[in-house]
């Protein structure tokens, strides 16, 4: 069989040191009998050339040819136009599901291990959408907007991955973390699709939990969870919280799974203060590498390395960032050599990882797509235009603005129904204690004698054009119904 090609990006700071250690360990475990690592240029050095993506064209082609990227931590430039290379890579290659596991490890002391509580659970985070779209605009002197984008197909994809993974791992209960009590449409959709996809996995119990309560529960009693699936931003925060429960980001592996391209990485920082000193802890990258090996059907080799790592940790060998401080710490190379020396050994104080043939459950890459795909969930819905929200940059007080807007829509099919500021209704009713900034949402809805379906959005555009003669229009949102259900939210206090 041909070897699996894996694009290899060592990263910045301590990245090259821990990547060298991890690859050396894989060589000792005979992984390189089945894998070729292909170096690619990504990270700080590429940013410094003026490349705002942080990756060369050749690197992009190599990753797309290989279908797998194994990467160390990478620095995001501060200021300037460069965006996070980690986010760019996930979004560019549609690695839509971030999968992270959190386990109590021997030799890694936490408040839970001290209490005799062994943790073993996972978090699945949607990786593409939410505020990570990075769609931001300055709307007025005092207001900046970030758009939050949640789609039904994107939600379906991550939920299906979560349930399929739960089935493979024997997980009996999956929770959906959300904030649908406040963001009723975006998080509401994410929760609705969780319940819909869950119906295809009848053997798995489903539950949901509001994200703030989830964070409290994770601190008080984390062992009650087996798998949690969340939207992007909430998932980012919660997964780092979970890493803290098992010792920190240095012990939390990460996989970003897509239909065609997947990324395995250490999610901790580049630690420039210790870079080049040979003292970095490679455990997170090693664990991420094990996820990668299982992904490409090398379950036997993954189990061999994992048991050696557990045996090493169990013996008390540790780098300077953890472990028994009464015992001297070792450097990156010595730590790695200790794992290599334990290849073939199994831990005695914790369950060993069983040898397994995962050939029937690992990833088989589908054919390369011929073009960008459009994914859809809902089709053939009956939609009607019922109004528009027009967003204005204005210093006027709400009552004065309402008078102007009422005049603007007098000879149109629309009536002024709402003015809100920072999401709170300030007209037709409101409180004198609600402070306003220079950015308003003005809502126009169909007059009572105008039936939906008589026209499209052109009348809304005409109204916006009329208002724009006297006001600065920052943005515009069409109000529609979908099979008779409103596709827009109420204001606070409405």
Which phi and psi angles does 172 have, rounded to 5°? -95, -15
Query: What is the pLDDT, as a whole number, of residue 357?
Result: 59
Question: What are 348-375's pLDDT values in tens digits?
Answer: 999 999 886 544 556 778 888 889 999 9
H helix and E strand count, the chain:
14, 18
- In whole angstroms, how large is the CA radius of gyration of the chain? 26
Q: Does residue 447 contact residue 415 with C-beta atoms inside 8 Å?
A: yes
Report whether pLDDT(436) > 60.
Answer: yes
What does the DSSP assignment read for 37-84? EEE--BSHHHHHTT-TTSB-HHHHHHHHHHSEEEE---PPPSSSSPPP
| Residue 409: pLDDT over 60 | yes
Cα-based distances in Å from 436 to 394, 395, 474, 476? 10, 9, 17, 20
Q: What is the pTM of this model?
A: 0.93
Which pLDDT does position 448 carry in this prediction?
Answer: 94
Q: Looking at residue 363, what is its pLDDT? A: 73
pLDDT of residue 1: 63
Per-residue pLDDT, 296: 93
Q: Please give the torsion angle defined by the CA atoms of residues 420, 424, 428 and 431, in that order, rounded to the nearest 10 degrees.
A: -130
Q: Of 71, 77, 69, give the one whose Cα is nearest residue 93.
A: 69
For range 6-19, the mean pLDDT? 97
The per-residue pLDDT for range 54-98, each reduced to its tens digit, is 999 999 999 999 999 999 999 877 655 567 888 889 999 999 999
For 166-201, the pLDDT digits (tens) are 999 999 999 999 999 999 999 999 999 999 999 999
Q: What is the pLDDT of residues 108-163, one digit of tens each?
A: 999 999 999 999 999 999 999 999 888 999 999 999 999 999 999 999 999 999 99
pLDDT at 81: 57
For residues 260 and 366, give the distance between their C-alpha atoms in angstroms, rounded to a whole number: 7
Phi, psi angle pair for 384, to nearest 5°: -135, 140
The more confident residue out of 454 and 429 is 429
pLDDT at 87: 87
Domain annotation for the chain: domains and CATH numbers: 1-84+271-379 (3.40.718.10), 97-257 (3.40.718.10), 383-486 (3.30.70.1570)
Whole-number mean pLDDT of the chain? 95
């Amino acid at each position: 069989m041909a070897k699996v090609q894996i694009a290899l990006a060592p990263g910045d700071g301590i990245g090259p040191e821990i990547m060298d250690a991890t690859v050396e360990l894989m060589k000792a475990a005979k992984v390189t009998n089945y894998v070729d690592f292909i170096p690619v240029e990504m990270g700080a050095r590429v940013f410094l050339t003026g490349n705002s993506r942080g990756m060369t064209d050749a690197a992009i082609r190599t990753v797309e040819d290989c279908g797998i990227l194994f990467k160390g931590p990478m620095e995001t430039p501060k200021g300037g136009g460069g965006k996070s290379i980690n986010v760019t890579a996930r979004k560019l290659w549609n690695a839509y599901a971030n999968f992270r596991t959190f386990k109590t490890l021997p030799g890694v002391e936490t408040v839970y291990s001290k209490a005799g509580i062994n943790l073993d659970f996972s978090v699945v985070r949607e990786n593409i959408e939410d505020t990570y779209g990075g769609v931001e605009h300055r709307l007025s002197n005092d207001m900046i907007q970030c758009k939050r984008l949640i789609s039904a197909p994107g939600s379906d994809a991550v939920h299906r991955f979560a349930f399929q993974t739960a089935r493979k791992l024997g997980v009996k209960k999956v929770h959906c973390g959300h904030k649908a009590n406040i963001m009723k449409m975006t998080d509401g959709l994410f929760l609705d699709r969780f319940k819909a996809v869950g119906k295809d996995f009848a053997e798995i119990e489903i539950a949901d939990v509001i994200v703030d309560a989830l964070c409290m529960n994770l601190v008080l009693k984390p062992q009650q969870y087996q798998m949690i699936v969340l939207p992007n931003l909430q998932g980012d925060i919660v997964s780092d919280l979970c890493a803290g429960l098992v010792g920190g980001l240095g012990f939390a592996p990460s996989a970003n799974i897509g239909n065609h391209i997947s990324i395995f990485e250490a999610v901790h920082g580049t630690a420039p203060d210790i870079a080049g000193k040979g003292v970095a802890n490679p455990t997170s990258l090693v664990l991420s590498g094990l996820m990668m090996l299982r992904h490409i059907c090398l379950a036997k080799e993954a189990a061999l390395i994992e048991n050696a790592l557990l045996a090493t940790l169990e013996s008390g060998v540790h780098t300077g960032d953890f472990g028994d401080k009464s015992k001297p710490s070792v450097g990156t190379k010595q730590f790695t050599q200790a794992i290599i020396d334990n290849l073939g050994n199994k831990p005695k104080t914790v369950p060993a990882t069983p040898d397994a043939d995962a050939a029937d459950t690992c990833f088989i890459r589908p054919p390369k797509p011929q073009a960008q795909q459009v994914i859809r969930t809902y089709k053939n819905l009956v939609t009607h235009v019922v109004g528009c929200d027009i967003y204005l940059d204005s210093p006027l007080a709400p009552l004065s603005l309402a008078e102007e807007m009422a005049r603007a829509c007098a000879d149109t099919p629309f009536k002024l129904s709402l003015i809100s500021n920072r999401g709170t209704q300030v007209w037709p009713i409101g409180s004198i204690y609600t402070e306003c900034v220079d950015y308003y949402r003005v809502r126009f809805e169909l007059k009572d004698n105008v039936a939906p379906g008589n026209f499209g959005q052109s009348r809304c555009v005409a109204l916006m054009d009329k208002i724009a003669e006297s006001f600065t229009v920052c943005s515009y949102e069409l109000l529609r119904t979908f099979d008779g259900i409103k596709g827009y939210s109420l204001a606070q206090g409405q």
